[in-house]
Amino acid sequence: MQTRRLGNSSLEVSALGLGCMGMSFSYGPPKDVPEMIALIRHAVERGVTFFDTAEVYGPFTNERLVGEALEPFRGRVKIATKFGFELDPSGSQKWLGLNSRPEHVKAAADGCLQRLRVDRIDLFYQHRVDPSVPIEDVAGAVKDLIHAGKVGHFGLSEAGAQTIRRAHAVQPVTAVQSEYSLWTRKHERDVIPTCEELGIGFVPYSPLGKGFLTGAIDEHTTLDSSDFRSTLPRFTPDARRANRALVDLLADVGRRKNATPAQVALAWVLSRKPWFVPIPGTTKPHRLDENVGAVTLELSADDLREIEDASSRITIQGARYPEAVEKMTGL
């Protein structure tokens, strides 16, 4: 497995990470824990050293899963987790809003350390920008945690360019995590250029378009009511039918390269910048192996030009999130 460094930091990880959210949260019912532990450990065997989770996934259950799975590999892998939600103390899957007050951030870190079974959180992201708390205060709280040895690196998720700049001035930001793929490219306008200017790594989540770019989903696919994609405008049957043109493009390129649409989609993301580290999620070992295969897939200049030209003529149908959720992105 190739490795990449996140921006100008010392954090070096596998070129492809593993997003673990769907094992416990959002993509239908939680999956079998022993099977998911085996999958995470299989990822380590395939050279993956970068794993992504969050306290809100479950909540808490995904961090516990990741902590148990990776405990035997402590020191060999890097774990990223996230803070920033007020969670229902009853243990339900409800969250009560955003909360990035410094005292809450520090308490969240202690809980994450316990659940992940580690002495230090490698990368600690603010999950969503909290408009009620100055980002300077958030960065200051993480700076204190870094000085205390509880956190290695500071990250932001779905933050806008100005927020990134303000946070970075207080505590250097190692990575910005945001949705990015061939069908979600708005961060190219200002977030990615800001990261490049400041030497910050970029971690694309949902680089396979929440599974759509694999080609496994079409307008006839039935999404379970517990699958959050059933609430997304981009996943209505009509939108899926219209957006299929993008999958067809990836499949056309893949046929020439002896690669799947998913591998072409991931190789395209990897080709954008050497400090991009996408974190596709999966719950299936064969999909994990397929994704890892994308790291060695080389797209030529002609391939990339074809993808760029053809995709520019495809209008993606449907917003990526409902309006209320989109407003939480801080962009």
Tokens of 89: 């103390």
Q: Which residues contact 281 (CB under 8 A, 6 or more apart)?
A: 18, 19, 20, 21, 22, 23, 27
Q: How far apart are CA 45 and CA 39, in angstroms?
A: 10
- Catalytic residue list contains 125: no
Q: How far apart are CA 90 and CA 87, in angstroms?
A: 9
Residue 101 is classified by DSSP as -
Residue 97 is classified by DSSP as E
Helix residue ranges per DSSP H, 80-223: 102-116, 135-147, 161-170, 191-198
Asked if 263 contacts 20 with a C-beta cutoff of 8 angstroms, the reply is no
Give the three-class secondary structure for 124.
strand
Residue 276 is classified by DSSP as B
Catalytic residue among 27, 57, 125, 180: 57
Residues noted as catalytic: 57
